[in-house]
Structure formats: structure tokens, C-alpha cells
Amino acid sequence: MSIQSIRDNSQSVLAKTIVGVIVVTFALFGVDAIIGYSSNANNVAEVNGNEISTYELNRATEMLRRQILDRMGENADPSLLDEKLIRSRALDSLLERQILLQDAEEHNIYTSQGRVESTIMTTPGFQVDGVFNPAIYEAAVRNIGLMPREYKSQLALDMQVQQPQSAIMQSAFMVSSEVKQIAELDRQLRNIAYLKVKTEDLLKDIVISDISAKEHYEANQQEYMTPELVQLEYLELNRSDFMSKVDINDLEIKQLYEQEVERYKQREERRAAHILIEIGKDTDEKAAREKMDEVLEKLAAGESFESLAKVYSQDLGSAKNGGDLGYAERGAYDETFEDTLYSLSVGQTSEVIKTEFGLHLIRLLDARKLEIPSFEDLAAELEQGLRFQKSEELFVEQADKLQNDSFSAGDLREPAARSGLQIQTTELFSREGGKGIAENANVVKVAFSDEVLTEGNNSDLIQLGNDHVVVVRVKQHQPAKVKPYDEVADEVIDLLKRRRASQQAQKLGEQLLVELREGKSTEQITSDYGFEWNIVDKVGRDQQELDPQINEAVFKMPKPAVGEKSLDGLIMPNGDFAVIALTKVYEGGLTEISPREIEVLGRMIANQLGRYDFQDYLLNLKQQAKIEKY
């Protein structure tokens, strides 16, 4: 049975049963479950079978958006941002990250738990007076929408990706003779003269007949099409809109506080130290256990755990601190590691255990209960949490109702009345998207789908973000059509005039080059044609006063013989033709460059080469990967 047949017979017993199953699924599992049935609406892409969800893209987009605004400074204007471009770049970043993760796993590249912990503990943003602060860390992580365990997991993946990237980039190098040669070329200066044959000067004498313009129009009508446009009506639900609509009383908050107090009584932070011997391609388990036996023997002989950790532990982040990992609650470590840690008494050392990172010897340095905050300290947070929970429940309930009501309705008026929502309207937009909800790729895709555009149905719920959904319906559709000739005549004539002017400019410019090569001087060219030469002495590779195209061309021209000149011409982006004469080259000297500057330049060039190597490596991985964007 098709969806359309269900819609057409939505009052039948069978249809009501099917709709009922959908509603039950939605009520049990929330918005994501019902959306999940609609093709790939809850995912945006797939890399070799691994999906990238809308949630991941939304989060990556928001994080990139924040980074851009931060770089723009205090007076940043969000309205200046191109949201589509930001979303596109965020998706590209997620695709590349997934490709690199798969490559790292294929090569058995992983990140040890100790390195992750050490990175967190040494991050300045998580410290107070140079010391790691768990409260600040947790608050910072939650502020970006993650739980501490999620953050650690993401950080581990990021570090896993960075390992091969760093290895490739750091493998590039330059020998000193090459660096000196590049430095000499970089400091080279050139004397030039150039003129431009400008299309603007030729336009006034060019006449395009109406017949020619119409012939071009008739032969290229696809260039003069109006885009296909739709205008949507939509109903929108956002969980945040329900935050102010839920009722919270003091008794509920006090009950939550009492529950929180009981949880705090059970919570404990443990300060662990460990010695890690990694198991990997360079060290098998037998060799790792032999190394750990050495540690155990020395520990039994009276050497301190701290000193042994500094010598033997392969968790470089914590080794320098005697293996100290700092205080952490449950949920911070690998399950095996954590179970062992919480079985110890203060000062006790564990047996050797094995995790995915290798062999560990763990010592419990300290354990402390968390201080129970006062009701006043927690009240606002508890109220906010309860309000969030209730608004979430109300949102799911209303989204359930909206999905059910709009499924079989012939328009949005009845669902709007039942849900107390206002029907909103978009501007007309094309398949490229538009403003408001039309910025969302899923909305655009659904708007132009057969079910919504051709069959005239209400859409299923479309997820715009976390706890944010819409139902859309086409209000107006304007098919693509050829613009009337009279409407585009001026545009066509201007295009043809500029093309012809550019052709004439090129022809004249090439004639000038021929005459110069035959021996005419630049002064004679000026006398014969009236062109003025621009004389620029000692042009560098980054001459700001020059057009970048001319600057680039100048340094591709061969060095002229003494008393001669090298000649070249090029078509500029606007259709002008530039004629260039290179008259002298000044070789770059190294007398003013210190050995230290040569060393720094060498590192800069090697870093750049490393980036090129990595980009080539990534491009190869992309070409081999099966990438699908929904």
C-alpha cells in the first residue's frame, strides 16, 4: 500500500490502524523515530556505509558559526554570515573527518586513554592558576552541548585523526641549498612596462543588430530561464517555545533537590595514577608483560610508583607527573580501568590489567566525596532542568499530534487550529534554497518532491534541528520558463558587445606583440596607437599595486638578454588584453638573510609542502571512498 493510498483512504479501518502504529512509534521513540522512516531525512550523508546524521551536521555548523563570529570580534554581525556556505563547509569537514577516521582504524592507529586525559588536564581553558579544575571542565563541555564522556570520546577521535595527518606533514623537509635557492627566487625583482587594451574603450564603436541578438537568444534560451520557484505554507514546532508554557512549583524543585542530595552522597572523585605499557605493532603483549614485570620487581624492591611511572609509562601526558591522572568521577575512564580503580583502597596498587590501550598498573592516590551544594545554589539549575524535561515531553506530545493531524488533512488549516499554531509562509525560493526554513536542505528537498509538489500533500515532519520540526505544504508553484526576449534584450546585447570587444582587444593586443617582437619600441607603439605604458620598476612577487594576473605572468616570463626585453600578453578576467614587456631582472641576494631566517624559511616551506602532501593523501582517500550526500 502506497502512502498516497493511505492518504486517500485515511478514514478506513486499515488506514487508521497504520496511522495508529506510526503514532505509537512516534510517542515511544520521539521525533527521530518517525522522521527516520522518511528515506534518509535524519541523515545528511554517508561515507563507505557510515552515516552522518542531521544532528551531527547541525552541531558542526553551529560550532563553525561560533568560531567565525569569534574571529570577527566583539562587533560581529551574524546577519553577514552565509549560512548555506557555513553548513556546506561543516558537512565537508565531517565527511573528511569520517574518511580520515576510517583510514586511521584501517592502519590500527588509536589514541591512548592516558593521552586524552593528559590533553584535557593540560588544556589552559580547563585550569585555574595552572591547575586542572573539574568543575570548569564540566561546565565548558556542557556549554557546547556535550557530556564529559562524549567530549572525551570526540577528543579521542580527533586525536586519532591528527596522528597520521601530523606524521605526513612532518615528513616533508628541505635541504639548506634548496631553501637558499628558493629564498633567492623569492627575493628576485623585475622591471616591467605594460599596457591594457580595454574593452570599455571599444564598446562605443560596436553595434549588435537586433537579428544577431535574437539569434543568440533563440540558440541559448537555457541561459535566460527563470528558476522554478515554490512558496510554502508551514507549521513550526520548537521545543524552546514550550519552556515558558510549562508549570513548575516549589515542591517539585525541593523534591528534585532531595534526590540530587542523595546522588551527591553517592558521588565520589578518585585521584588515580597509572603506568601504561602499550600493546601495538611495535610491542606485542608478551614484550609488554615482560616490561611490566620489570616495573613490578622494582616496585616490590621499594622504588616509588611515581618514579617508575616517569621512566616506564608510555602515557607521555601523565608520565611526567608520575602517572597522576588527577581527580575524576565515574564515567571518565575505560570500563575495565574504572572498575579496577573503584575496587582499590587509598594507597593500594592494582594487579596488572589489560584494556584496548595496553597494560596498566593503577594506584589510587586519594578519594573524596563531593561537597553537597545548598538548595539556593542548585534551585535555578534544577528548575531549568525540570522546565526542559517538561517542555520536551510537551513538544513530543504536540509533534505527535501535528504529525497525526496533518497526515490526512487536505491543507494546514485544520492541523493549525487543532494545535493552536499559526500558518506561516515562506518567500518564493528555488531549488538552491531561500531564506528562513528554506535555508534547510531537507526542507528544499521535500518542497520539490513529487509527494509534496506534484501530489499536493502535506509533508511529513521535517527536522530542522534538535527538537525543532516543521510540516510544509506548497502554496504556490512557478515552473521554470524562458524569459521573454524584450525582458532580456539589453542583457543579450550587452553580452554580445562585450564578447566582441574582448575579441577585438585580444586581436589588437596580439598585433601589438607581433610589432614589438619585430623590433618596434614601446615609444613607437604609443605614437602609432596612443596607448600609454605603465612603467613599474623592481616588481616583487607580491606587488600589491599590480593586478594579480599581471604580477603572476611577470614571474613566469623568461629572463631577457641584456638590452632586450621579454614579451607576453594575457586576457584579463574582464576581457581586457594586457601586453607586458619585461626589461630587467634583479637576482635576489642572501647577504641580508641570516642563518636563523634561512632556518625559519626552511621550516615554513617544509610545513607548506607537508600540507600539500596531506591534501594529496586526503584527495586520494576521497577518490577511493564511496560518498553519498542526501
CA 434 – CA 431 distance, rounded (Å):
8
Residue 139 confidence (pLDDT): 76
Residue 145 confidence (pLDDT): 64
Residue 483 confidence (pLDDT): 94
Cell numbers found for residue 138: 564540566
Which position has the higher pLDDT, 367 or 75?
367
Q: What is the pLDDT of residues 236-282, one digit of tens each?
A: 998 888 888 888 888 988 988 888 888 787 788 899 999 999 887 67
- Nearest by Cα to 497 from 225, 223, 212: 212
Which position has the higher pLDDT, 516 or 149?
516
Average pLDDT over residues 593-606: 75
79 pLDDT band (50/70/90 cuts)?
Answer: low
Q: What is the pLDDT of residues 374-420, one digit of tens each?
A: 888 888 888 888 888 888 888 888 998 999 999 889 999 999 999 99
> Which single residue is written with the C-alpha cell 531564506?
435
Which 8-state DSSP code applies to residue 374? P
Average pLDDT over residues 55-72: 81
Radius of gyration of the chain, Cα coordinates, nearest whole angstrom: 34
Average pLDDT over residues 563-592: 88
Average pLDDT over residues 524-544: 90
Residue 25 confidence (pLDDT): 32
Task: Using the predicted structure, report yes or no on whether residue 208 has a pLDDT greater than 50.
Answer: yes
Task: Using the predicted structure, report yes or no on whether residue 203 has a pLDDT greater than 90.
Answer: yes
**Could you tell me whether strands 481-482 and 268-278 are parallel, antiparallel, or unpaired per DSSP bridges?**
unpaired
Sign of CA dihedral 105, 110, 116, 119: negative
> Which single residue is written with the C-alpha cell 518517525?
34
CA 322 – CA 304 distance, rounded (Å):
9
Which 8-state DSSP code applies to residue 377? H
Per the CB < 8 A criterion, the answer to whether 497 and 432 are in contact is no
Residue 19 confidence (pLDDT): 32
8 pLDDT band (50/70/90 cuts)?
Answer: very low
Task: Using the predicted structure, report yes or no on whether residue 20 has a pLDDT greater than 60.
Answer: no
Which position has the higher pLDDT, 114 or 89?
89
Task: Using the predicted structure, report yes or no on whether residue 10 has a pLDDT greater than 50.
Answer: no
Write out the residue limits of the CATH 3.10.50.40 domain(s) in the chain: 250-369
Vertex 390 angle, CA 384 and 392, to 5°: 100
Residue 555 confidence (pLDDT): 92
Q: What is the pLDDT of residues 449-478, one digit of tens each?
A: 999 999 999 999 998 877 889 999 999 999
Share of the chain above pLDDT 70, in %: 90
Task: Using the predicted structure, report yes or no on whether residue 21 has a pLDDT greater than 80.
Answer: no
590 pLDDT band (50/70/90 cuts)?
Answer: low
**What class has domain 43-171?**
mainly alpha
Residue 120 confidence (pLDDT): 86
- Nearest by Cα to 358 from 107, 113, 106: 113
Q: For residue 538, is it left (φ>0), alpha (ψ between -120 and 50) or beta?
A: left
Identify the burial level of 427 via C-beta atoms within 10 angstroms of its C-beta, where 0-12 means exposed, 13-18 middle and 19 or more buried.
exposed
Sign of CA dihedral 95, 98, 102, 105: positive
CA 608 – CA 615 distance, rounded (Å):
11
Cell numbers found for residue 424: 506561516
- Nearest by Cα to 141 from 131, 126, 130, 128: 126
Residue 565 confidence (pLDDT): 92
Per the CB < 8 A criterion, the answer to whether 395 and 377 are in contact is no
Share of the chain above pLDDT 90, in %: 43
DSSP string, 526-594: HHHH-PPPEEEEEE-TT-TTS-HHHHHHHTTSPPPPTT--EEEEEE-TTS-EEEEEEEEEEPPPSTT--
Residue 296 confidence (pLDDT): 95
Average pLDDT over residues 364-370: 90
Q: What is the pLDDT of residues 287-334, one digit of tens each?
A: 999 999 999 999 999 999 999 999 999 887 788 889 998 888 887 788
Start-to-end Cα distance in the chain: 25
Write out the residue limits of the CATH 1.10.4030.10 domain(s) in the chain: 43-171
Task: Using the predicted structure, report yes or no on whether residue 11 has a pLDDT greater than 60.
Answer: no
CA 383 – CA 246 distance, rounded (Å):
11
b/e code 259-269 from CB counts within 10 Å (16+ = b): ebeeeeeeeeb
Q: What is the pLDDT of residues 149-186, one digit of tens each?
A: 778 888 888 888 888 888 888 777 767 677 677 777 77
Q: What is the pLDDT of residues 90-112, one digit of tens each?
A: 999 999 999 999 988 888 887 77
Task: Using the predicted structure, report yes or no on whether residue 550 has a pLDDT greater than 80.
Answer: yes
Residue 42 confidence (pLDDT): 66
Which position has the higher pLDDT, 129 or 472?
472
Query: How confident is the prediction for the chain on average, in pLDDT?
Result: 84
Task: Using the predicted structure, report yes or no on whether residue 567 has a pLDDT greater than 50.
Answer: yes
Which 8-state DSSP code applies to residue 364? E
> Which single residue is written with the C-alpha cell 611495535?
282
Per the CB < 8 A criterion, the answer to whether 183 and 588 are in contact is yes
Q: Report the range of poorest mean pLDDT among 393-397, 494-498, 531-535.
A: 393-397
- CATH code of domain 250-369: 3.10.50.40
CA 554 – CA 540 distance, rounded (Å):
10
Task: Using the predicted structure, report yes or no on whether residue 365 has a pLDDT greater than 90.
Answer: yes
CA 346 – CA 299 distance, rounded (Å):
17
Which 8-state DSSP code applies to residue 451? I
Task: Using the predicted structure, report yes or no on whether residue 29 has a pLDDT greater than 60.
Answer: no
CA 256 – CA 98 distance, rounded (Å):
40
500 pLDDT band (50/70/90 cuts)?
Answer: very high
CA 225 – CA 484 distance, rounded (Å):
9
Give CA torsion, residues 215, 216, 221, 222, to 10 deg.
150
CB neighbours of 97 closer than 8 A, spacing ≥ 6?
Answer: 157, 161
Cell numbers found for residue 467: 527538537
Per the CB < 8 A criterion, the answer to whether 541 and 557 are in contact is no
Cell numbers found for residue 450: 513529487
Average pLDDT over residues 128-151: 76
Count of Cβ atoms closer than 10 Å to residue 210 Cβ: 11
Average pLDDT over residues 130-152: 76
Q: Please report which residue ranges of 30-78 form alpha helices under DSSP H.
A: 31-36, 54-72
Q: Report the range of poorest mean pLDDT among 201-205, 249-253, 484-488.
A: 249-253
How many angstroms separate the most distant Cα atoms in the chain?
102
Residue 593 confidence (pLDDT): 67
Cell numbers found for residue 610: 607537508
Per the CB < 8 A criterion, the answer to whether 236 and 330 are in contact is no
65 pLDDT band (50/70/90 cuts)?
Answer: confident
Task: Using the predicted structure, report yes or no on whether residue 14 has a pLDDT greater than 70.
Answer: no
The residue ranges of DSSP E strands in 171-255, in sequence order, are 189-197, 225-226, 229-238
Spacing of C-alpha 186 from chain mean position: 34
CA 349 – CA 362 distance, rounded (Å):
6
Average pLDDT over residues 186-204: 91
Task: Using the predicted structure, report yes or no on whether residue 31 has a pLDDT greater than 50.
Answer: no
